[in-house]
Structure 1
């Protein structure tokens, strides 16, 4: 452990489980915070940036899988799924959606701590940007909000997904095939006209019309990128 204990966020609606987790984690030197709903967990993650999350799949407002999917849109914080659900398809879905590990209830405290130590050793970034400033355009990935000059910019789901992926790989070229595969699926890797149309609409909405100072920059024959600056 370092001088500053790792900050662990528990997202679980069962009070007894939260109490047991807090006792186990606090006893091992971790700082612990708790949320009983998915929406609170999303807000707490955006505001406090925990070092790792322990997430239940069966939450009262939105499912843990939805929480996981939304978090993975903007953060790579280590996430351990802890749930009573033990079906193989549920485990696969959670791991495919970006969970780092999966543990079923009832659980061993020693095993939980061991899995948590492994996740924390993987060297995830201590602080990842969720807000990007691109001139007069501000993109907050944690709230899925895009503003230009304090006015909200309304993007379609595909336009937002393109912008999010480019920001998450800021400074690097994302090829046409990568963008098409991630957003439209592997069967559409050659459908570059989809991408051209949506990029054109996205640029129009962002006011990205100056060819000498583009927000979204085309790399001829390769793909698109956003310059590596303006993250916070």
Structure 2
């Protein structure tokens, strides 16, 4: 490209006067030539008619046009129509070595994700990048409602308790039926388990299954200790009777 520009500039410089007549003021240059020819006859001076077409006027006055100046460069640097053109040839396909079978390979669109945790993290990051900062307090409350940080309106005390919608209320309150009958024969243990049932019945955060699991844990805990509890109760009653006897004899 540098060689092309330098050759164009050198040839334009050689024909600078003709090019100046074309680009600057061709009509003025033609009038100037006409005035020089008729310099001796100032009385017979006639104006040159330039109302016609510019190309016709340029041919009549022998002005060098830009197309004539660039014709040599066009012939030199523009390739001929018979010049060979670039052809694209497809490379041969590689040989099939039968490493992968089409039965085991699934298309990318039909493949399900094998890691749900990564999908959840990716969805969370996409939601964080897509959401903008709230402009006012109402938009912030709406955002908190979507994030389950605020109650949705209208207020429902059983919101997000989908597993407890079909559970009746009495199963949350009356829990004595889930106790072991043998444990209730022991009076101190029966009093303790009654307090446990009362506390669980007033707990609004536990589901019925959670309350049953708590009572089952207490049942398993006292199964191997019920004999020792009964033995300690009998010992305490025996000591109480001895104390009564001793007080009666002393008096």
Query: TM-score band, normalised by the shorter chain?
Result: under 0.3
Select the structure with the greater relative contact order (CA < 8 A; seq sep ≥ 6).
Answer: 1
Q: Which has the higher helix share?
A: 2
TM-score normalized with structure 1 length? 0.17
TM-score normalized with structure 2 length? 0.16
Greater C-alpha Rg: 2
Q: Which has the higher strand share?
A: 1
